């Protein structure tokens, strides 16, 4: 199904081949951006790679936290470029110092550098060197000086806007012991492992009005037929020793365990190149997709700790306590992939991926964009003819990995779609 886009129509038949650097971080930005053929978008692609290396590679942040900081970087880059190039509504606002004669590449590099330095002052030596390398490619003069001023203003505005937004705030994790209640199944030296960022759901969103407004319908009642259907599916297909899961399904399950923010941002970089985006289009794509992903995570984590539902490994091992005659306990059941240390419902991956896929469909004006992606987690490449094929596989893959009930996956996708639809109606709109 084709969707209405905001800009020019993009080629749908281009095959985007993600190289082995897909989830790689810490690779020099010049190497990661080496395939760029569209000169005007090169600096946007380069600084997205620089941001990924800083946030994921050197700072070691997981997907949910990484999306927050990537959204900050790309939002500042967008406002800086849009202030010079025009064409769309600003996100926070247009820096007053902007002039159409200013250098957009200088603005991009300075905006990204400014946000990253504000987030990671300990990385100043590396970030300063990357900025110097970018600015060295731009001729000296008033345009360069003006672009630097615009980028610095956009970075300062973003850092100010996101101060005290709930990141890293205190959060009390509550584990239960009654049927249906979540408890950690990850242990180190006999002690339960609790996720490092349970506070994500309390962060002020970038786009949506509130996380609570996107509340899901919740998990199925333990005694219901729908719960038993989900239970028996993941029990059969998600087991470490499953005899019904195919080799391709196993590969897909492992494939999508790669660091999600690294995987998708590598896809964004390759799409920007393959679709020949200009500097303004690329800046808008990265901002839209990362902000959508960030708000998908925020809404999802708010929902997770609202329902606090148990994971399949607990449900299957303790099925004799759920009151459902259609479920049978297996005390030794083990999932294909290690269970994450936070509640099950809804699926974080599908909340975020759903938001991103819907945003990509809207940005390009079509679902029909072919791409192939490499995952360093599975060591394999998977090919898709449409964006929607990827989200369908992700929904299945979380079941095949043994870490989610299907209902959590489908309801997570609904949350992601709602985020994207809100973005479409209220942000990044064209202006005459």
- Tell me the per-residue pLDDT of 73-110, one tens digit each, with 9 for 90 and over: 999 999 999 999 999 999 999 988 899 999 999 999 99
- Tell me the per-residue pLDDT of 280-301, one tens digit each, with 9 for 90 and over: 999 999 999 999 999 999 999 9
Distance CA 158, CA 172 (A): 28
Model confidence at 15: pLDDT above 70: no
Q: What integer best gives the mean pLDDT of the chain?
A: 91
Overall average pLDDT of the 337-365 stretch: 97
- Tell me the per-residue pLDDT of 220-262, one tens digit each, with 9 for 90 and over: 999 999 999 999 999 999 999 999 999 999 999 999 999 999 9
- Tell me the per-residue pLDDT of 353-376, one tens digit each, with 9 for 90 and over: 999 999 999 999 999 998 888 999
pLDDT at res. 371: 84
Model confidence at 22: pLDDT above 70: no
Model confidence at 314: pLDDT above 70: yes
Look up the pTM and report it: 0.91
- Tell me the per-residue pLDDT of 145-190, one tens digit each, with 9 for 90 and over: 999 999 999 999 999 999 999 999 999 999 999 999 999 887 666 6
Q: Which residues pair with 309 in a beta bridge?
A: 181
pLDDT at res. 31: 34
Model confidence at 2: pLDDT above 50: no
Overall average pLDDT of the 326-343 stretch: 96
Domain annotation for the chain: domains and CATH numbers:
16-167+219-426 (1.10.606.20)
Structure tokens, 93: 């606002």
């Amino acid at each position: 199904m084709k969707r209405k886009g905001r800009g020019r129509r993009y080629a749908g038949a281009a095959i985007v081949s993600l190289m082995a650097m897909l989830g790689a971080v810490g690779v020099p930005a010049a190497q990661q951006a080496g395939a760029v053929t569209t000169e005007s978008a090169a600096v946007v692609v380069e600084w997205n790679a620089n941001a990924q290396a800083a946030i994921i590679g050197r700072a070691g942040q997981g997907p949910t936290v990484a999306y927050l900081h990537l959204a900050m970087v790309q939002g500042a880059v967008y406002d800086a470029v849009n202030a010079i190039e025009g064409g769309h509504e600003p996100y926070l606002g247009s820096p007053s110092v902007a002039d159409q004669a200013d250098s957009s590449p200088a603005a991009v590099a300075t905006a990204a550098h400014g946000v990253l330095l504000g987030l990671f002052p300990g990385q100043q030596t590396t970030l300063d060197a990357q900025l110097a390398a970018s600015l060295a490619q731009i001729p000296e003069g008033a345009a360069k000086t003006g672009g630097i001023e615009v980028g610095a203003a956009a970075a300062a505005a973003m850092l100010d806007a996101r101060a005290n937004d709930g990141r890293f705030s205190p959060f009390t994790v509550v584990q239960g012991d009654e049927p249906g209640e979540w408890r950690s199944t990850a242990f180190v030296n006999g002690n339960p492992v609790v996720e490092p960022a349970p506070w994500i759901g309390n962060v002020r969103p970038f786009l949506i009005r509130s996380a609570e407004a996107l509340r899901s319908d919740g998990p199925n009642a333990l005694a219901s037929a729908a719960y038993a259907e989900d239970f028996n599916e993941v029990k059969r297909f998600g087991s470490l020793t499953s005899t019904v899961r195919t080799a391709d399904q196993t590969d897909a399950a492992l494939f999508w365990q790669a660091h999600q923010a690294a995987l998708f941002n590598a896809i964004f970089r390759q799409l920007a190149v393959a679709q020949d985006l200009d500097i303004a289009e690329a800046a808008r794509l990265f901002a839209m997709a990362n902000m959508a992903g960030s708000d998908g995570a925020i809404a999802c984590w708010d929902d997770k700790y609202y329902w606090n539902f148990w994971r399949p490994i607990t449900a299957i091992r303790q099925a004799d306590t759920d009151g459902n005659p259609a479920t049978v306990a297996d005390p030794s059941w083990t999932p294909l992939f290690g269970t994450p240390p936070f509640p099950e419902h809804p699926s974080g991956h599908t909340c975020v991926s759903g938001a991103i896929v819907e945003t990509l469909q809207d940005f390009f004006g079509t679902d029909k964009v072919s791409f192939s992606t490499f995952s360093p987690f599975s060591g394999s490449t998977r090919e898709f003819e449409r964006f929607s094929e990827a989200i369908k596989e992700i929904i299945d893959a979380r079941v095949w990995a043994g870490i989610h009930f299907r209902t959590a996956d489908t309801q997570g996708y609904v949350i992601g779609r709602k985020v994207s639809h809100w973005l479409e109606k209220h942000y990044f709109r064209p202006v005459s």
